[in-house]
Amino acid sequence: MLDDFFIRALLAGTGLALTTGPLGCFVIWRRMAYFGDTMAHSALLGVALSLLFQMNLTISVFAVAAIVSLALLLLQKRGSLSTDALLGILSHATLATGLVIVSFMTWVRIDLVGFLFGDILAVTPQDVSLVWGGGILVLFAIVYLWRPLIASTVNPELAAAEGLEPERARLAFMLLMALVIAIAMKIVGILLITSLLIIPAATARRFSASPEVMAVVASLLGAIAVAGGLFGSLKFDTPSGPSIVVAALAIFLFSLLPWRRRAEEGAIQPDTGGHH
């Protein structure tokens, strides 16, 4: 089964979507969309360093993303610049540094477009097992940390007062983000990772009555977007990463426009789906 590149892509994409669902919810609740973007952009520096020192790509991307998020924490504590300015600096500084380092290495030829926009159709069986192995790890960690994460998202001081160690939860959250970015890079690419975090979660908000439901719905919507995007990519011969994002956007818009009134009155009728 894994011999077929399309099945592999489907498996890798849905596996990734399952982890980006709950994580994306936290990105939205904590208003960290730009933060996610910054960590994703830093992945290119990770790519460059892994080529320079001939390290494992995933580990190197994870390490750089984790270091960037820790650097942000330290800079925030100094409090001399606003968070969005710091993010702007880190985001583009790491992206640019990565590009410069890559250009120095004349002896390697890398597919820059592949890293920026992903190449899900080229995933290997090893990639699939990495996605699922890493994804299950991330999901277990999220379930284990769920209460402290939710409580410190609502109010860190409240969580601290009632013994839930919000700083630990925040650190764990950043490491999980770094891990997911390292996993996701090959599938949707550095520039599009945040969209897979944010769009399904944003779509899920309207259909969810609790944080738990929202996390699950975001995962499912993400998986649908991956499948839809891949089939679209196959049918129309479009790039796969952007196609997945476009599919996610289509679901978001579809959830937004036609049945807003009815949904709010609790009378959601099964739609026989005329949007294809």
Partner 1 sequence: MLQTNPSTSPPPLVSLSAAGVRRKGRWLVRGVDFSIARGEIVTLIGPNGSGKSTTAKMAIGVTRPDEGHVTRIPSLRVGYVPQKLAIDWTMPLTVDRLMTLTQPLRGRDIDAALEATGIRHLARAEVQHLSGGEFQRALLARAIARKPDLLVLDEPVQGVDFAGEIALYDLIKTIRNTTGCGILLISHDLHVVMAETDTVICLNGHVCCRGTPEAVSRSPEYLRLFGARAGQTLAFYSHHHDHTHLPDGRVLHSDGTVTDHCHPDDGHHHEDSLPVGRAGPMRIVHAHGPNCGCGDHGDEKPEGNPGTLQERGDA
Q: Name the residues that contact partner 1, by CB under 8 A.
A: 28-29, 31, 147, 150-151, 153-155, 157-164, 202, 205, 208-211, 213-214
Nearer to partner 1, 151 or 180 (CB): 151
CB of 80 to partner 1, least distance (A): 11
Token digits of residue 73: 């924490």
CB of 46 to partner 1, least distance (A): 30
CB of 195 to partner 1, least distance (A): 16
Burial of 243 (C-beta count, 10 Å sphere; 0-12/13-18/19+)? buried
Nearer to partner 1, 206 or 239 (CB): 206
The Cα–Cα gap between 193 and 41 comes to: 9
Tokens 């995007």 sit at which residue? 229
Nearer to partner 1, 161 or 253 (CB): 161
CB of 119 to partner 1, least distance (A): 32
Q: Is 181 in contact with 193 (CB distance < 8 Å)?
A: yes
Nearer to partner 1, 85 or 161 (CB): 161
CB of 266 to partner 1, least distance (A): 13
Nearer to partner 1, 211 or 239 (CB): 211
SS3 94: helix
Tokens 């960037």 sit at which residue? 68
Nearer to partner 1, 209 or 267 (CB): 209
CB of 159 to partner 1, least distance (A): 6
The Cα–Cα gap between 169 and 147 comes to: 9
